[in-house]
Amino acid sequence: MNVTKKTDDFLRRCGMHPDGVDFNEIKNTFIDEMKAGLEGERSSLDMLPSYLSARPAGDGTAVAVDIGGTNLRIALTACQGGQFRILSLDEFPVPGLEREVTKAEFFREIAGHLLPAARQSGNIGVCFSHAVEMLPGGEGRLIAFSKEIKVSGAAGMEILKELSQALREAGAGPAKHSVLLNDTAAVLLGGAMASGGQDCGGYVGFVLGTGMNLSYVERTAEIKKLGGGADDTMIVNTEAGGFGGVPAGLLDRALDAASSNPGAHLLEKMTSGRYLGRLILLTLQKAAADGLLTPPASEAVLRLGDLPLPAASDFMSDPRGGSRLAALCRDESDRDAVYTVADRIVGRAAKLTAAAVAAAVEKTGARPDRPACVTAEGSTFYKLYGFREKFLNCLARGGYGHTRVTGVENATLLGTAAAAMAGR
């Protein structure tokens, strides 16, 4: 039997093949969950109001702080006539990634890195890439850390309150005007600024890097849990990574059971950079145990302790190159089987994320004559071999080929700065 067909059959049996994902079914279920979350009903999507709209920023300076799943970025920016410039940019590891830290340690370390820029501007925008209940006035209360970040004593904390206290203790001087937003809201705002005069029927911010999430602009009247009624719009953070209406396969369940948060963030675990490499490895190890690889290749695969996603991407881009996976293959049958597993897992992730984005696009009310503008950011989206093309193909086959999917350089930082300036 053809090796590719044999591997595809194996993936279908394990529930790991993209054919097991019905684009329209996922999209429609996602929309149903969005509506339930907006109404305050039980939903796997938190649908968190941001209390921010996509309005222009004023002139001046602002510090943009991006607290991600892997990196902490701090930028001093200046805005003139709606055009932002980054004056300085520094990057550090996020506290709590390598080891568990206390809440005080988490903010003390961030404040220490932030201090030089904070002394140069009275406006601070904080982009926080973890689940937060946004509060009126720009504050937010932590729901939970994700992406394997570990911070003790943090449950229910108010982010800006803790950061402001840490800054005061570090000697930052007078109190700052601060606003908190999610990374996807920041990306959305960055894209809205960059779209200029484009006639967009709606805006979506999509992040696929260490984690996975998206935000979109919703009519305030649809956010029934806030009372509705207002004739205005607001950015809503869906917390898409938590979507539970996914067809989890055998190895998805194994990965979930071994994670630090079993049963949570199911879509994120099937699509994001934090988990995809591990998911490909678990699937390859199952393939080895089932005899799809030669004995030497099977032995080597079963000995692998981890597989960073960039290593899988390197193999897919050049199966006969010098990557870690290429070195495990003993013949062409091994190479075909390993490539098929990696390619299909990536293809499934592209299909799932495209369906989620399509749901947000549909919810904006965008039409083919006034398409939605989707600003995409994240290393998995842009750097994982073949992902972007698969994602766009899935959107097109699903009937959303008119959607404008673009990248904006430093969208997260620019959108965060814009929020700080617009909210003065």
C-alpha span between 237 and 14 (Å, rounded)? 32
Contact indicator for 34, 358 with CB cutoff of 8 Å: no
Contact indicator for 337, 347 with CB cutoff of 8 Å: no
Q: pLDDT digit string (tens) for 95-134?
A: 988 888 899 999 999 999 999 999 999 899 999 888 888 8
Radius of gyration of the chain (CA): 22
C-alpha span between 280 and 387 (Å, rounded)? 14
Strands 131-134 and 140-144: antiparallel
Q: Give residue for tokens 């595809």.
A: 8
C-alpha span between 196 and 216 (Å, rounded)? 18
Tell me what pLDDT residue 41 has. 96
SS (HEC) of 148-199? CCCEECCCCCEHHHHHHHHHHHHCCCCCCEEEEECHHHHHHHHHHHHCCCCC
- Prediction pTM value: 0.88
Q: Quick one: 34 exposed, middle or buried, by C-beta within 10 A (0-12, 13-18, 19+)?
A: buried
Tell me what pLDDT residue 144 has. 83
* DSSP track, 50-89: -S---PPP-SEEEEEEEE-SSEEEEEEEEEETTEEEEEEE
Tell me what pLDDT residue 424 has. 44
Tell me what pLDDT residue 310 has. 97
Q: Which residue ranges of the chain lie beneath pLDDT 50?
A: 424
Give the number of other CB atoms < 10 A from CB of residue 341.
26
C-alpha span between 419 and 364 (Å, rounded)? 21
Tell me what pLDDT residue 175 has. 74
Q: pLDDT digit string (tens) for 366-387?
A: 988 899 999 999 999 999 999 9
Tell me what pLDDT residue 135 has. 87
DSSP state of 267: H
Contact indicator for 191, 375 with CB cutoff of 8 Å: yes
Dihedrals phi, psi of 238, to nearest 5 degrees: -75, -25
CATH code, residues 60-185+412-422: 3.30.420.40
Tell me what pLDDT residue 6 has. 97
